[in-house]
Amino acid sequence: MNTPILEMKNITKEFPGVKALNNVSFQVAQGEIHCLVGENGAGKSTLMKVLSGVYSYGEYNGDILFDGKVQKFSGISDSEKAGIAIIYQELALIPEMTVYENIFLGNEVRNGFMVDWNETIKKATEMLKRVNLDVNPAAKVKDLGVGKKQLIEIAKALSKNVKLLILDEPTAALNEVDSENLLNLIRDLKNNGVTCVLISHKLTEVIDVADTVTVLRDGQTICTLNAQKGEVTRNALIKYMVGREIDNIYPKRDSKGTQEIVLEVKNWSAYDPSIGRNILKDINFNVKKGEIVGLAGLMGSGRTEFALSIFGNPDNYQLKGELFVGGKKQQFKHPHDAIEAGVAYVTEDRKGDGLILIQDVKENITLANLYEIATRSVVDKNAEVKVANEYKVNLNIKTPTVEQKVSHLSGGNQQKVCLGKWLFVKPNVLILDEPTRGIDVGAKFEIYTIMTKLVQEGMSIIMISSELPEVLGMSDRVYIVSSGRISGELPIEEASQEKIMHLATN
Amino acid sequence: MTFLKSAQKVLQQNIREYGMYIALFVIMTIFTITTKGTFISSRNIVNLVNQTGYIAVLAVGMTLVIVIRHIDLSVGFLGGFLGAIAAIAMVQWHLPVFLAILLTLALGILAGTITAFLVAQMKIPAFVATLAGWLIYRGAILVVTESTGTIIIPDKIFNAIGNGFIPDIPDIGILPGVHKLTLIIGVIAIVLLIISEINDRKKKLSYNFEVLPMEMFVIKLIFISALIGGFTWLLAGYQGLSWTAVVVLVVAIIYHFITTQTVLGRHIYAVGGNPEAAELSGINVKKITYIVFGSMGMLAALSGILFASRLQSATTTAGSLWELDAIAAAFIGGVSPAGGIGKVAGSIIGAFVMLSLTSGMNLMGIGISYQYMARGAVLAAAVIFDVATRNRAQ
């Protein structure tokens, strides 16, 4: 093993009532790709916050050795100066600024006390080349896709002469092609001497790129695995992360749905006046009772837009075509109508438009169906607590009480609150948009188990997902969306990753 | 020891909620001392309530507007303008007083609906839309009072709203000089409150929910009863409950009930907490925006009526800076500028804090210049306290 560039020794960080990190040791060798894995709430983010100086020296116990020196950071700027850069899932770019302005934001190329824009653009172009990104440096960041934004963040980090690059779930929001690009870039950087720490829930990519893997669980270091010695395998990772073995993450199902169609669209098209083009074209689609239908496709292919267009059309697309729910022709004017007709939609963006973060668990769970617990429009708060507690138990939401604000819950538990909210409206058709994005293996397994139980009770599920193994593991039938069209429909027996990718990029 | 600990725990958990009550108490105590008791005299308290009325009702409406992440700058002059309309309706159009009031309230709702149309339908930022309204209603007051100047209102019933008191029961020999109906209302309020609190506790216990420890519960009841009792006694010592106080109480109770107990209230807070999530949860965000601005317009009209009635006339300057007083009251009362958080009761207390400062400093003979500065400092301090306790709660 090479000399370590980073050593974190016996780090302990306590919050009132919880030990988030308990004597954690973490060692990264010079020039390696080191993956940090663990369930949500295992302490990965806290560890990285300690490292980057968000929690300054003295707020935690233990030592940080970086580049051979003991470091006492008291803010992000200190750790950046030392050569550590962290790229978070929520990107810190300013959408209205150009690419070159963003790359050198806070680190402006100066000429006296004025910004030297020519030099900035020149340097930015070099940086873009280093991350293999072919965009106009004068383009506005808001016009670029998530994948490109991610690369610009990396270019920004590189412009600061970073020695250790930490990426927090960089591929969570990327499609397969962009993910592959990003992982290749990390390999490139490694060859150029930049050490990378990658935090990820996607075990496939961890196995793919990691030289070393450190597993955290419940605030403790469980083990460090070496890829060269063949220690990094899917089963090993899952076992150490969850603390038990999960044989098959996709639960077995007895029934395979019926022939009764519960939701169908015919010749369905949508025009988005705000961008002035058709986003959905001639879609024919149906779901049967007790069936899980997968909706695969690249990000931006129109999957979410399709779901929203049948869920009361909140973005006010101009719709054409026919929608049948439960055999009746429907024209929903608002999500409210869709909910009334038994359709529910669990968003892909639980923080952005799924949950009300400043409210508590019970208020979020009952929000979409308040009349159920109200008499003459007066909410029965005791009934509300009771309902919320039922979902807390049934969905295994880990929260001390249902009065806890959802912003304090981990991603997996927030997702369960979202799910609980939509199960409380007692839908016939449940649309799940990326139901397991950004949540850990244990919680994923729980969500798959819940889905299985629901369809066995006769609910129908439309699952939108970018994770092909999930699509193949859970669906009875798969539709593939490409550029706003259904480019293919496959029974699960005929579907494979290759076929789906082929149709999705069609 | 356990008692002290549980008291401490309850206080700590609710420090934000109790904070402004404590602030009001401290301010009142300070003024009582510095004015040698004049401040807390029955007469001054009754006056204070009557002066606060028109800002308090505006603050109630503003609370909801800020909760759904908007602002309304137009309500001050809208109130002034509608007060003038009420006067004109009675004086020049010879409408009966109740009809004039109803007409004014209806016009208020209409004005609020127009604001809502601009904000919800046309997607104009509320700050800009209502700034336009601010200018327009400012001009409108001048237009309607231009020919006559100040319009004197002769109607006795109308003027009683801002100056009159509820009638008393006939004298039966006991407690001379004390307003007995006010006392009776106070006692009834205390009894109703205790009954509802006990019922609520029983219900919670039957569900096995957490409740306050028994001794804390009793202390809370005694404290609230003493507060209402003391306040009632003060009012009864002068001329009793004023009609303005009745109006403010009715508005407070209705809005408190709507915001805390009904589906509509929950939908309003959901829209404020996360409009996208609310929309996807089947809540019609536009409809909520219309309702909230509509109610704001109606309360602006009520505010204008209270003010015109108090002055027994409609003036060209009515409405000036009311909106900012109402916004300040809401923020002092703990409304979050980011939306989704804020209580009606808090805003009313906020209005009393602002008016207590004015009244107390007037009694002390402090000049208007320092009064403004003191009020600014209290506003800043209140928001700092709010932010600090909120961060600690996380």
pLDDT digit string, tens, across residues A171-215? 877 777 888 888 999 998 888 888 999 998 788 889 989 999 999
As a whole number, mean pLDDT of residues A248-265 equals 83
- B257-278: per-residue pLDDT in tens? 999 999 999 999 999 999 999 9
> CB–CB of B340 and A356 under 8 A?
yes
Strand-pair category, A84-87 with A374-375: unpaired
For residue B222, what are the contacts with CB-CB under 8 A and spacing of at least 6? Answer: none
pLDDT band at A157 (very low <50, low <70, confident <90, very high): confident
Please state, for a pLDDT cut of 70, what percent of chain A lies above it: 97
R_g of chain B computed on alpha carbons: 22
> In the predicted model, what is the mean pLDDT of chain B?
90
Classify each residue of A71-103 as buried b or exposed e, where b means 16 or more C-beta atoms within 10 Å of its C-beta: bebeebebbbebbbbbbbbebebeeeebbbbbb
Contacts of B270 in chain A (CB under 8 A): 356, 359, 363, 367
Report the gap between the CA of B155 and the closest CA in chain A (Å).
39
Q: What is the DSSP letter of A311?
A: T
> CB–CB of A355 and B263 under 8 A?
no
Distance from C-alpha of B391 to C-alpha of B394, rounded to nearest angstrom: 5
> CB–CB of A338 and B283 under 8 A?
no
Distance from C-alpha of B168 to C-alpha of B171, rounded to nearest angstrom: 8
Residue of B266, B271, B280, B335 best to disrupt the A interface, most CBs of A under 10 A = B280
> CB–CB of A368 and B284 under 8 A?
no
pLDDT band at A16 (very low <50, low <70, confident <90, very high): low
Report the gap between the CA of B261 and the closest CA in chain A (Å).
5
Q: What is the DSSP letter of A287?
A: E
Contacts of A344 in chain B (CB under 8 A): none
Q: Is B174 on the interface with A (CB under 8 A)?
A: no
Contact B20, B349 (CB under 8 A): yes
> CB–CB of A357 and B274 under 8 A?
yes
- Evaluate if residue B35 carries a pLDDT over 80: yes
> Among A117-131, A347-361, B3-17, B97-111, where is mean pLDDT lowest?
B3-17
Identity at A119, one-letter amino acid code:
E
Q: Which two tokens stand for residue A259?
A: 């022939």
Classify each residue of A255-294 as buried b or exposed e, where b means 16 or more C-beta atoms within 10 Å of its C-beta: eebeeebbbbbeebbbebeeeeebbbbebebbbbbbbbbb
> In the predicted model, what is the mean pLDDT of chain A?
88
pLDDT band at A297 (very low <50, low <70, confident <90, very high): confident
> CB–CB of A359 and B340 under 8 A?
yes
Residues belonging to chain A: 506
R_g of chain A computed on alpha carbons: 24
Note the pLDDT of residue B393: 47
Domain made up of B2-164+242-393: CATH architecture = Orthogonal Bundle (1.10)
pLDDT band at A253 (very low <50, low <70, confident <90, very high): confident
Distance from C-alpha of A226 to C-alpha of A365, rounded to nearest angstrom: 43
Note the pLDDT of residue A203: 84
> CA angle, A353 as apex, A350 and A356 as ends, to 5°?
80
Of B209, B261, B276, the CB nearest to A382: B209
**Burial (CB count within 10 angstroms: exposed 0-12, middle 13-18, buried 19+), residue A458:** middle
Distance from C-alpha of A175 to C-alpha of A304, rounded to nearest angstrom: 14
Q: Is B276 on the interface with A (CB under 8 A)?
A: yes
- A310-327: per-residue pLDDT in tens? 999 988 899 999 999 999
- Evaluate if residue A2 carries a pLDDT over 70: no
- A263-279: per-residue pLDDT in tens? 999 999 999 888 888 89
Sketch out chain A's domains with CATH numbers: 4-242 (3.40.50.300), 261-342+427-504 (3.40.50.300)
pLDDT band at B9 (very low <50, low <70, confident <90, very high): confident
Contact B226, B219 (CB under 8 A): no
Q: What is the DSSP letter of A84?
A: E
Residues carrying CATH 1.10.3470, chain B: 2-164+242-393
pLDDT band at B394 (very low <50, low <70, confident <90, very high): very low
Report the gap between the CA of A207 and the closest CA in chain B (Å).
36
- Evaluate if residue A91 carries a pLDDT over 80: no
Specify the higher pLDDT residue, A39 or A431: A431
A23 three-state secondary structure: strand
> CB–CB of B263 and A367 under 8 A?
no
